[in-house]
Each structure stands twice: as structure tokens, then as C-alpha cells.
Amino acid sequence: MCGIIGIISHTPVASRLVDSLKRLEYRGYDSAGIATLDAGQLQRVRAEGKLKNLESRLDGEPIAGTIGIGHTRWATHGAPTVANAHPHATARLAVVHNGIIENFRELKAELQADGYSFESETDTETVAVLVTREMDRGAAPREAVANVLGKLEGAFSLAFLFKGEENLLIGARRGSPLAIGVGRGEMFLGSDAIALSPFTDEVRYLADGDWTILTHDAAEIFDEDGNPVDRPVTVSAGKPFYVDKGNHRHFMQKEMFEQPEVLSHTLGAYVNMTDGRTRTPKGQELDFTKVRRIALSACGTGYYAALVGRYYFERYAGIACDLDVASEFRYRESPLSDVDLALFISQSGETADTLASLRYAKSQGLKTAAIVNVPESTIAREADVVLPTLAGPEIGVASTKAFTCQLMALAALAVRAGVDRGVIKADEELEFTRALMEAPRLVNEALHLEGEIEHIARDLATQHHALYLGRGFSYPLALEGALKLKEISYIHAEGYAAGELKHGPIALIDETMQVVVVAPHDRVFEKTVSNMQEVAARGGRILLITDHKGAASGAMDGARLLVLPDMPEILIPIVFAVPLQMLAYHTAVQMGTDVDQPRNLAKSVTVE
Ligand code: F6R
């Protein structure tokens, strides 16, 4: 993961580097650092932990300079210490890196044998020393970098700053993203348009394998064979990305409360609000008439959205679905000959495994589509068909509004697919779309349960373990609810298909086990209630999340209840996701964890 920024300007850069790093902190927050040139000499300040630690250090020891690089780290090689923080530097240069240099051990051993020494445990320092060795042998910076790039294996984006070179920044990318920002008499390098948004909206995205030489007024770009290439300038929508928490305590809370609005925006991309017909967004045509099998793939919460997607496509469109976490899909080498469409889901559009799976599917000749939230992301740029979620920037590391918007897009697409395939008739289509239009109102009602949920969370925060159970549409929700709880509260939680309880997990049930049962009054309600009674019989502490009909059925003596409005089946995943998010959120707040930036995580996972 990690975020990179580079600036070559005529005005001081230190505070601008930090400003950009604030926008990149979603990529990692184990440490941060910047390096500049002051009268040609390398200056460097680094700090462990969050960016605010770097800011305090810079208050005490400010650094001058009109050219510099900055980095925010998600640790891969080496603990999150100052010594391992980027930029890494030698007497000749400083470098920042996102990605993993897979052959760094061999390269490091070779350099050590040549008499070079190292200060950190990182793979990145190997790159700094390799370029230094080339320069010690007489190469100029550009030649030195070009020679070294050919020796590196793995995924990387890099930005180099050279001692004595006030008009030179060099960037390179393979696997990890890097973009050039074009200014007036100044140039920028950044991990994404968000990093560049305080300075410019003119962005040139480097293609995989590209490297670039930046001066104040020009950007030369070369492909991996060293041939000069041109990459077009696109105007980025990056500026509105800088958002604040408004009146909310955390971004996650704000994002949960934005759901009614962003769900309705997303619905508008898939349903014509005047005639109630489903559609794919303009210019992104997808004809499901001949689609008989879809391969779905994503990571984390996106994977749980894909799991709901499978239920939607199979139930409403009669399309069989294969489903994989992306890190398995790309290596499983499953025969894809009978797959008609590969569909990927990603909030960030940068997740390394999902991107690699997309590329694998393309290499197998499959038509690809991607449900993405960041329109300028690599996945959005590489998929044949882009299916946007209009959730807006999601800053909290735990995904909330992006998840429900993914579900909304999937629901509408499944209905569209059903219509295309003749499984859904015109009047039924209208019924479905009328139901989908109810989502913002029902999600709003779910949000009104916040007070009650806060109360329940006080109890949950005293527990050490939780099981989440659900069947049918509620099974993916049980998985998602457990993921939300563990990632932000650090309480151990697992999700299970309710029917699987008696095949093992029931052994865990005693009076200390919190069990969250997700059971709307749907086709499988009675069966889930039976599983819940098996828990009750063994003394488990039960929270039942159901709807009015479920609550009225009276089958849940001894369970604590959270009651949502009744709703059409297609909306269950979208609306029931909300109390699960809020339960995790308020439990984490009770426990005093860092809700928006939980330990060990990052918002964009650009390493395998
Ligand atoms: C959990 C969460 C992660 C992401 C996963 C994929 O709350 O946010 O599990 O869903 O890292 O990220 P994207 O969707 O950006 O590909």
C-alpha cells in the first residue's frame, strides 16, 4: 500500500507535501516522512505512526526546499519504526516506494558483498543503494534509475530525489499506481489523483512499466523498453475528494449517515426514474441476453457484496455464478471456458489482487466488468465495462456506504439481467424498481435505531467473542457484520451460515458467547429461528436483528431484539447491513479504538 507524493516547484514544498500526505493517509499510517533539497543538500524528517507525529516533528525542525518527496507507510518489510520509515536515503539520493521488491534479499546480499551497508530492514532501501552504486560507477541519475529498474522484481511505484539536482524528479511504476500532475511551472508525482488534488486537476496516468523524468516545465515518459511515449492529460475530479467529518465524530459515522443519499444517486445510474426501467450507465452497455454464467471476484467487504450478488443473479436472473476471493481467483486456474462475463467489485479500484484477477480474466479472453467507486482508478480504466457506485469518497477504513451502494448496483443489474433474459416481465421489473426506490427511506429508518444500538454496543464491548449467523441473503450479512466488528473493535468475531452452526461452531456456545442472529421474516426465517433456539438452549447471549413480522412471530424468548421495518426481499441485504455497521461502530467507540484508522489496516490494499 503506502502513499507517494513528489513536488518540483519554485516555492517551498514541505507543508505542501504534508498536505498531500493527509489525503494519502488512507493508504497506510504506520509512519510518514518527507525529504527535500535545501541548497542542493538532502534534508529528511520522518516519524513513526500517524501523520500528526510527522507534523509535530516538522514544527520543531522545519525543512526548507522547493523540491521534495513524501510518503505514508503501510509496513510490509520491517516494523513501523523511524529507521524503516520512508524516504530512504543514501549520500546521493532519497527514494519513496509503494509495493514490494520481491528479489530484494538477493540484491541486498549482492550490494553488501560490494561493501554497501544498510540502515533499515526494508526492501526499499535496496533500491536506493542500487541506484547509488550505479552512480558511484559513473552513471547520471536517469541512466542509473533506468539500469536499476530492469533488475527489480515485484510491484512498485517509486519517486527519486537526487542531491544537487534542484530540477529533477524521477518516477517509475510497475504494478502499483503512479500519476503525474501537471502544474504551471511545477510538476508533481502522486499515487493517485487524490494526492495531486491540492495542486492540479491535470493528471497524466503512467501505464504499467512506465518511468518518467520531471523538470519544472516538462515530463518525459518512457515505456518499459525505454521508448519515449505520450500519456494523455485527463482532467481529474480530484478536488471534491477533500472532505471533512461535518458534525460527526468519525468519518465512518458520517459515511453511514450518507447512505440514504448515495444509495439514491447510485440507483439513478441503473434505473430510469421516469419510466422505472433498469439500465446500465450511459456508454457502458452490457447485454445479458447471452450471459449464462458470471464469475464474480473481489476482496474483503467487496467479496461479501459479490456473495450477495450471486444470490441476486441466481434468484432474479437465473444466471449461475462462480465466486472467488480475488487472491484465489488469480491463482486457481479455474477453466473459464463457460464463463460469459467476469465481474469484479472494488471500492478503491486499486486492490492488487482484484486488479490482477481482472487482468487474468482479460488474458483469458473474457469480457470484464467492474463495479467501482473511484472512477479514475486502475480497475475502472482497465475493465471493459465500468459500473459505478456513486458513494462519493469513502475515508473510513471500514467500508460502509460503498458496500451498500455495491449491493444497490448488483440488485439493479440482476433485475436488468432478468429482464434481458426474459425471466422478469415488464410489470415485475417495475415492482422491483419501485422496491429499490424504497431503499433510501428504509435505510434512513434503520439509521434511527442508533440510540438503541449504542445501548446494545455497551454490552457487546465487554465481550471477547461473537458469532454472527444468517441464512440466504442474511448469510453474507453475517460475514460482513463479523468483519466490521473485528476490524474496528478488535473483538474476535466470525460469521457463519446459520445451518452450519451444528457442524462445529456450536461447540463454542456457552454463556460468554455473544451470538448475533440476522433473520428478517423471509423464506428461511423459521429455520434460522430454530438455529437460534439451539444457541439459547446452550446459554448463548443472543441479539436477534429482525423485522416487524419476525418480531411479531414471538419465537424468540430470551433474545435481545433489534427491529427493522418490513421490506421487500431484494432490499434485505442493503437495509440489514446498516444496524450491523452501527453495532460495530458503537462497540468500537465504546472500546476507544481508532475507528477510522484501525490498527494494521489501510484503505487501499495495493500489495498481494
Ligand atoms: C472492510 C474493507 C475491506 C475492503 C477490501 C477491498 O471494511 O473495507 O475488506 O473491502 O480491502 O477493498 P476494495 O473494495 O477497495 O477493493
Helix axes 401-420, 259-270, angle to 10 degrees: 20
Residues 6 or more apart whose CB falls under 8 angstroms from that of 569 comprise: 473, 522
- Evaluate if residue 240 carries a pLDDT over 50: no
The C-alpha cell 467507486 sits at 373
Q: What's the gap in Å between 567 CA and the centre of ligand 1?
A: 27
Given the DSSP bridges, would you call strands 385-388 and 368-372 parallel, antiparallel or unpaired? parallel
The C-alpha cell 452452526 sits at 501
Question: Do 412 and 484 belong to one domain?
Answer: no
Indicate which atom in ligand 1 lies nearest the CA of residue 303: 10
In this structure, is residue 602 part of a structural domain?
no
How many other CB atoms sit within 10 Å of the CB of residue 458? 12
pLDDT for residue 238: 53
Give the span between the Cα atoms of 342 and 401, in whole angstroms.
24
We report the CATH number of the domain holding residue 148 as: 3.60.20.10
CA-wise closest residue to 511 among 548, 484, 539, 482? 539
- Evaluate if residue 501 carries a pLDDT over 80: yes
In this predicted model, what pLDDT tens digit does every residue of 366-392 receive, in sequence order?
Answer: 999 999 999 888 999 999 999 999 999
pLDDT for residue 21: 94
Q: What's the gap in Å between 354 CA and the centre of ligand 1?
A: 10
In this structure, is residue 606 part of a structural domain?
no
User: Which range, of 127-141, 233-247, 491-505, averages the lowest pLDDT?
Assistant: 233-247
In this structure, is residue 101 part of a structural domain?
yes
- Evaluate if residue 334 carries a pLDDT over 90: no
Q: Are 560 and 544 in contact (CB under 8 A)?
A: yes
- Evaluate if residue 585 carries a pLDDT over 80: yes
Q: Are 46 and 82 in contact (CB under 8 A)?
A: yes
Q: Are 169 and 159 in contact (CB under 8 A)?
A: yes
- Ligand 1 pocket mutation, candidates 26, 296, 327, 347, criterion most atoms within 8 A of CB: 347
Q: Are 598 and 468 in contact (CB under 8 A)?
A: no
pLDDT for residue 500: 95
C-alpha cell at 166: 534542484
The total of structural domains in the chain comes to 3
Question: Do 35 and 180 belong to one domain?
Answer: yes
Question: Do 432 and 448 belong to one domain?
Answer: no
In this structure, is residue 518 part of a structural domain?
yes
Question: Do 426 and 450 belong to one domain?
Answer: no
Question: Do 489 and 523 belong to one domain?
Answer: yes
Please tell me the residue having the least CA distance from ligand 1 atom 11: 300
Print the domain residue range for 538: 444-591
In this structure, is residue 323 part of a structural domain?
yes
What percent of the chain clears pLDDT 70, i.e. is strictly above it?
98
Sign of the CA dihedral with 353 first, then 354, 355, and 358 last: positive
CA-wise closest residue to 300 among 180, 152, 479? 479
Please tell me the residue having the least CA distance from ligand 1 atom 5: 300
Residue 215, CA distances (Å) to 112, 225, 315 in order: 33, 22, 57
In this structure, is residue 118 part of a structural domain?
yes
Q: Are 310 and 323 in contact (CB under 8 A)?
A: yes
pLDDT for residue 519: 96
pLDDT for residue 96: 97
Please tell me the residue having the least CA distance from ligand 1 atom 7: 398
As a whole number, mean pLDDT of residues 105-134 equals 97
Given the DSSP bridges, would you call strands 541-547 and 233-235 parallel, antiparallel or unpaired? unpaired
Question: Do 291 and 239 belong to one domain?
Answer: no
Q: Which of 413, 437, 461 is at the close of a domain?
A: 437
In this predicted model, what pLDDT tens digit does every residue of 169-207 receive, in sequence order?
Answer: 999 999 888 999 999 999 999 998 888 988 998 999 999
Give the span between the Cα atoms of 464 and 458, in whole angstroms.
13
Question: Do 197 and 284 belong to one domain?
Answer: no
Sign of the CA dihedral with 182 first, then 346, 607, and 599 last: positive
How many other CB atoms sit within 10 Å of the CB of residue 557? 8
In this structure, is residue 604 part of a structural domain?
no
Burial 366-389 (b: 16+ CB within 10 A, else e): bbbbbbbbbebbbbbbbbbbbbbb
Residue type for position 532: M
Q: What's the gap in Å between 527 CA and the centre of ligand 1?
A: 31
Residue type for position 151: K
Indicate which atom in ligand 1 lies nearest the CA of residue 484: 7
As a whole number, mean pLDDT of residues 100-126 equals 95
CA-wise closest residue to 389 among 286, 273, 241, 266? 266
Question: Do 504 and 585 belong to one domain?
Answer: yes
- Ligand 1 pocket, Cβ-based, cut-off 6 angstroms: 299-302, 346-348, 351, 354, 398-399, 483, 487, 605
User: DSSP label at 296?
Assistant: E
Residue 133, CA distances (Å) to 103, 117, 169, 358 in order: 17, 11, 18, 37
Cis? peptide before 177, omega within 30° of 0: no
The pTM (predicted TM-score) of the whole model is 0.84
Question: Do 405 and 468 belong to one domain?
Answer: no
Residue type for position 140: A
In this predicted model, what pLDDT tens digit does every residue of 550-580 receive, in sequence order?
Answer: 999 876 777 899 999 999 999 999 999 999 9
Hey, is 434 helix, strand or coil?
helix
Q: What's the gap in Å between 476 CA and the centre of ligand 1?
A: 15
CA-based R_g, the chain, Å: 26
The kind and range of the H/E element at 31 are strand 31-38
Q: What's the gap in Å between 299 CA and the centre of ligand 1?
A: 6
Sign of the CA dihedral with 474 first, then 478, 483, and 484 last: positive
CA-wise closest residue to 394 among 505, 469, 302? 302
Q: Which of 415, 437, 459 is at the close of a domain?
A: 437
Q: Which of 196, 215, 247 is at the close of a domain?
A: 247
In this predicted model, what pLDDT tens digit does every residue of 23-76 receive, in sequence order?
Answer: 888 888 899 999 999 999 999 999 999 899 999 999 999 999 999 999 999 888
Given the DSSP bridges, would you call strands 211-214 and 169-174 parallel, antiparallel or unpaired? antiparallel
Indicate which atom in ligand 1 lies nearest the CA of residue 299: 6
Q: Is 295 exposed, middle or buried (0-12, 13-18, 19+ CB in 10 A)?
A: buried
- Evaluate if residue 247 carries a pLDDT over 90: no
Hey, is 314 helix, strand or coil?
helix
User: DSSP label at 509?
Assistant: -
Question: Do 264 and 347 belong to one domain?
Answer: yes
CB-side neighbour CA atoms (13 Å) of 147: 16
We report the CATH number of the domain holding residue 310 as: 3.40.50.10490
Question: Do 275 and 222 belong to one domain?
Answer: no
* Total length of the chain: 608
pLDDT for residue 276: 93
pLDDT for residue 130: 98
In this predicted model, what pLDDT tens digit does every residue of 73-98 receive, in sequence order?
Answer: 988 888 889 999 999 999 999 999 99
Sign of the CA dihedral with 334 first, then 337, 339, and 343 last: positive
- Evaluate if residue 210 carries a pLDDT over 70: yes
Question: Do 409 and 461 belong to one domain?
Answer: no
In this structure, is residue 514 part of a structural domain?
yes
- Evaluate if residue 603 carries a pLDDT over 90: no
